[in-house]
Amino acid sequence: MTSNMTSIQPESSVNETFYKPTFYIRGLYNIPHAKYYFVFLSIMYAVTVLGNSFIMGIIYLARSLHTAKYVAVFNLAFSDLCGSSALIPKIIDTFLFDNQYISYEACLANMFFVNCFLTQQSLTLLALAYDRLVAICSPLRYHTIVTKTAMSLILGILWFISVTINALLVSLVTRLSFCRSTTVNSYFCDYGPVFKLACNDKTINNIMSYVCIAVLLYIPLLLITVSYGCIGFALQRIVHGNEKIKAMKTCTSHVILVTLFYVPIVSISTAASITSIDTNIRIINIALTQTIPPMLNPIIYTLKTEEVKQAIKKLSFGSFVKSTLTGCHVGQRPLS
């Protein structure tokens, strides 16, 4: 009886590991003092939370920013904040507190949320490009075309696309069996490094990884590039130099955001598809790509956008006047 039980237990344990393994997130490999890199990411996360919370608060409080453009900017700040929150706290727990093992279910959840918010950042930059395209190419019709309702509808559709595609990717992982190594060569449960560990046929996963990169990364970048080509032609038709400069300034912040987001991630994705890249180099590049833009986006919009700077000044002045009047009221004595 005892021998039967001992022969059955290993089999059940193998089956459990085969279908729903516990993954090991390896992170940076053989790099001395690698923990300092993750401490650096933690500092960046603190700046990201403060910056994006600040810009969201300004947009919410300032009535002058209750426009279609700033509905998209608010959505970008929200995506940045949630994306960093889905990624960096888990990194801190994993590598600074040595919790590198992660359950199957937690791994899939981590994969979904990190990739969902990352793709939403890409799609929101596309929505902002559409806003700038209409504003410069059809300025007289801008307020009738790009309304808050229209922008909210566009963003709702983009959220649906992002959630649907990433849910599909996660569901494709659930059909895989993991019977060999469960060490993920990344700093989180990244889709590519996870599905490549599977023992059974993963052709559909490989195809979908390329399809998703094209749909959520390359196509938005292509459309943004085309939109700025149209904006360039429209600017050539503007005769007055001051109007041309003013129109170009409205695009400055968006161009910087697009450059910061797309150039690193497209470069590393293209290089990885062409040649073999060292795992540590890929991890460092992708980690910085997912953390630097969310940290800098609110700073860029605060420093480079006149509307936001004016809104901050008005809110600061209004708070000062209100506190002054309140102080005067409290300090008054009733007439005898």
Q: What is the mean pLDDT of residues 145-161?
A: 96
Note the pLDDT of residue 301: 79
Note the pLDDT of residue 324: 57
In eight-state DSSP terms, residue 22 is P
Domain boundaries, the chain: 21-311
CATH class of 21-311: mainly alpha
Dihedral, 107, 111, 117, 123 alpha carbons, nearest 10: -170
Locate 15 and state its tokens.
């089956």
Confidence of residue 39 (pLDDT cuts 50, 70, 90): confident
Note the pLDDT of residue 306: 82
Note the pLDDT of residue 288: 84
| 273 has a pLDDT exceeding 80 | no
Q: In terms of pLDDT, which residue wins out, 126 or 269?
A: 126
Note the pLDDT of residue 5: 41
What element of type H or E holds 176? none
Structural contact between residues 127 and 72, judged by C-beta atoms closer than 8 angstroms: yes
Note the pLDDT of residue 325: 54
Q: How far apart are the first and last CA of the chain?
A: 100
| Percentage of the residues of the chain whose pLDDT score is greater than 70 | 88
Note the pLDDT of residue 331: 52
Kindly give the residue spans of alpha helices, DSSP state H, lying in the chain: 2-19, 34-61, 68-91, 104-137, 142-145, 148-173, 191-195, 203-213, 219-236, 241-274, 279-304, 306-331
